[in-house]
Amino acid sequence: MKVLITGGAGFIGTNAAEFYASRGDEVVLFDNLSRRGSEANLSYLEKSLGDKINFIEGDIRNRWDIERAICNNRDTDLILHLAAQVAVTTSVNDPREDFDINALGTFNVLEAMRSLKNKCGASPIFIYASTNKVYGGMEDVGIIEKDGRYTYENLPEGINEERGLDFHSPYGCSKGTGDQYVRDYSRIYCLDTIVMRQSCIYGERQFGVEDQGWLAWFTIAQALGKPITVYGDGKQVRDVLWVNDLIDAYEKARQNIEKTKGQIYNLGGGHKNQLSLLESFSLLKSLSGKDIPLKYEGWRPGDQKVCFMDISKAENDFKWKPTISPSEGMKKLYDWVNSNKSEIEKYFPN
C-alpha cells in the first residue's frame, strides 16, 4: 500500500509514517516544515526509516505544489490530510493565514484528488483530521461540578456527531469549512472521504506549546523548568487520546471503507478517558516526584469548561476503541520528553 501524508513531519504525521512504514507500506510525506519541531521529526524519520519514506517539501496553500505531489504519486491508496494551522489563538491573531491553510489548503487537496480521478481514474481513500471545535462553545449543554472537575449534566457518553455545528472562532470556521467540503466531495464527486472530528491527541514527537498540545506542553514545561499558566480554575475537562490509538482508528476506518466513506466520526478518548488540567498535574507530580508550580489567570474567551466525545459510532462502525489510559499515556509522554530533553530544549529557548 502507498500512503501520502500531508503534514507528514508534524506530530501525528510522524507517528502515522512510522506505523505504515514499519509494516512495509510506501510512505510519502508532504510538508512545508514551518511548524515547531517538524525539521527534527523529519530528521528522526529519515534516520529511523531511511528509504522507506519519500519527502516532498511543499505547501497546501499552493495548489500546484499539492497537485504535483498527488499527480506524481497517482498510485497512492490512502491520503491522510493532517496539514493544518492548529491553534485557536493563532487563528484570532491571523485569521487570513488560518483560512488559507485550513480552508483553502484543504480545498486545494480535494481539487487535486478530483483532478486525479478525472484524468487517471485513480481515487485514493482520503481521511481528514477535523476537530471537536466545530461544535463551538455548546453553551446550551448543562454543566455541573463533580469530584473537583466539570462534567456534562445529562450527557454521560459525551457529544455525538448529531450535534449541530457552531463555529466560535476563526479556527472553528476554517476547520469546519474543510470538514464540510470533505463531506460534500464524497457526495458530489464520489470520492472516498472520511472526516475525523478529533479531540485532544497527545503522544511522542509532539512539541506542544501553551495554546496547542497542552499535555505535551505541561510535560515539556515541567521537564525544562518553565512556568505553567492555568487559565481558569484547572477543573476543565477534555477526553484525551494517545496518538497510536488515533492512527489505529484511521487504519480501521480505511479497512472498512464501504461502511465509512462519506461519514463523520468523533475520535477522542471518550467518557472513559477524561482528564482535567488539575488531574494532569497530579500525574506529572507522581511521575517526577516534584511539585508543579502553577500560575493562575482568568478564563480565556471561548474556553470550554468541559468537552468530551461520544465515540460509539466509531466503535460500532469499525470496531475501534482506545487502548491507552491517560495514566499510561502520560507515563509514555513523560519518558519520551525526559529521554529527549537536549533535542526538545532547542525549540524552547529561554
The reply to whether 350 falls in a domain is no
Q: Is 248 exposed, middle or buried (0-12, 13-18, 19+ CB in 10 A)?
A: middle
The Cα–Cα gap between 96 and 92 comes to 9
Query: Which neighbouring-strand residues pair with 159?
Result: 309
Range of the domain at 80: 2-345
Q: CB 342: neighbour CB atoms within 10 A? A: 7
Q: Is this prediction's pTM over 0.85?
A: yes
In this structure, what C-alpha cell is assigned to residue 253? 476506518
Q: Which residues contact 235 (CB under 8 A, 6 or more apart)?
A: 145, 148, 149, 150, 276, 277, 278, 305
The reply to whether 284 falls in a domain is yes
Residue-wise pLDDT for 34-89, tens only, equals 999 999 999 999 999 999 999 999 999 999 999 999 999 999 999 999 999 998 88
The reply to whether 339 falls in a domain is yes
Domain CATH number, residue 114:
3.40.50.720
Comparing CA positions, the residue from 225, 228, 223, 226 lying closest to residue 341 is 223
User: How many domains does the chain fold into?
Assistant: 1
Question: From residue 48, how far is each of 7, 44, 99, 200, 335 by CA, in Å?
Answer: 18, 6, 34, 27, 19
Q: Which residues are catalytic?
A: 171
Residue-wise pLDDT for 124-164, tens only, equals 999 999 999 999 888 899 999 988 899 999 999 999 999 99
In this structure, what C-alpha cell is assigned to residue 144? 455541573
The reply to whether 172 falls in a domain is yes
Q: What is the pLDDT of residue 88?
A: 86
Mean pLDDT per 10-residue interval, the chain, length 350 residues: 98 98 97 95 96 97 98 97 93 95 98 94 96 90 92 96 91 96 98 98 94 94 94 96 99 98 98 97 96 92 87 98 98 97 89
